[in-house]
Amino acid sequence: MRNIKLTIQYDGSKYRGWQKLGDSDNTIQQKIENVLNILTEETIDLIGSGRTDAGVHALNQIANFKTNSKVSTNKILTYCNEFLPKDIVVKDVTEASENFHSRFNVKEKIYTYKICNNQIQDVFTRKYCYHIPSKLNIQNMKLASMLLIGEHDFTAFTALKSKKKSKVRIISSIDIKENNGNISIVFKGNGFLYKMVRIIVGTLIEVGSGNISVNSVTDILKSLDRTKAGSTAPANGLFLTKVIY
């Protein structure tokens, strides 16, 4: 039994997320599985490093699958890119060790959120960033982000409803950069909860807009109350940038 590792890039704009659904085949996972099923003449179970929500993009999503097929990794690569939709690309295909698991072996993930903070939206980037025409205070956003670094219970920053699942995660860094009105917020951590990055971004935007003070971010974190945090930033500005093993 072979274990095949894929590195995948996709524009999530028109898809209902990574995870396949019972009532729709309009997901990234399902589209790739459909192609692999035909190629290998098997029923493939593709395991992703994690779910990305509807509308979220990926620069380097990692996935793996087990197969008895003898088809070469180069053939898998070329076949996938010939028959997948053009907004899904397999960048690399390699043989992985038998024990490699794209989700369970993850050490850290890096997500990037993009904001256009110019008065006029760039027509060519409008699908891949959140347009905020009013000027944001980047320094205050940076100060607020520092309060979220470390190991915390991020209940206030997730849409996850389950009370049984731990909401403790470690954010090792949040790097905010601005260049000519283009803002990138890069998150690095051992895992991220459902909509966690987008809610943190929404909260930092509130800080940058002057609607929430820097120090109140600590109070929001400690409150474990989702209603205290900012709104959920739109999905189109979020990219899964890298998965670290």
Which of 11, 53, 87, 225 is the catalytic position? 53
**C-beta separation of 61 from 49 below 8 A:** yes
**C-beta separation of 238 from 130 below 8 A:** no
Q: Does the pLDDT of residue 180 top 90, yes or no?
A: yes
Pair 56, 126 in one domain: no
Q: Does the pLDDT of residue 21 top 90, yes or no?
A: no
| Chosen domain end from 96, 129, 151 | 96
Q: Quick one: pLDDT at residue 162?
A: 79
Question: Do the domain assignments include residue 101?
Answer: no
HSE-CB at 84 with a 13 A cutoff on CA atoms is: 25
Pair 86, 26 in one domain: yes
Q: What is the mean pLDDT of residues 88-105?
A: 98
Domain that holds residue 170: 108-244
Q: Quick one: pLDDT at residue 23?
A: 78
**C-beta separation of 204 from 230 below 8 A:** yes
Q: What is the mean pLDDT of residues 134-146?
A: 98
Query: What residues form DSSP beta bridges with 63?
Result: 6, 48
Q: Does the pLDDT of residue 74 top 90, yes or no?
A: yes
Lowest mean pLDDT among 16-30, 81-95, 194-208: 16-30
**C-beta separation of 213 from 135 below 8 A:** no
Pair 151, 225 in one domain: yes
Question: Do the domain assignments include residue 156?
Answer: yes
How many structural domains compose the chain? 2
Q: Is 53 a catalytic residue?
A: yes
Q: What is the mean pLDDT of residues 4-33?
A: 94
Lowest mean pLDDT among 61-65, 75-79, 124-128: 124-128
Which phi and psi angles does 159 have, rounded to 5°?
-95, 5
Q: What is the mean pLDDT of residues 30-44?
A: 97
Pair 198, 237 in one domain: yes
Q: What is the mean pLDDT of residues 100-120?
A: 97
Q: Quick one: pLDDT at residue 22?
A: 79
| Chosen domain end from 96, 123, 150 | 96
d(CA 67, CA 71): 10
Q: Quick one: pLDDT at residue 109?
A: 98
Q: What is the mean pLDDT of residues 34-38?
A: 98
Query: What residues form DSSP beta bridges with 110?
Result: 188, 242
Pair 224, 128 in one domain: yes
Q: Extract the tokens encoding 124.
A: 């060519």
Q: What is the mean pLDDT of residues 144-160?
A: 97
Domain at 118, CATH number: 3.30.70.660
Q: Quick one: pLDDT at residue 8?
A: 98
Q: How confident is the model at residue 46 (pLDDT cuts 50, 70, 90)?
A: very high
Pair 149, 216 in one domain: yes
Pair 163, 65 in one domain: no
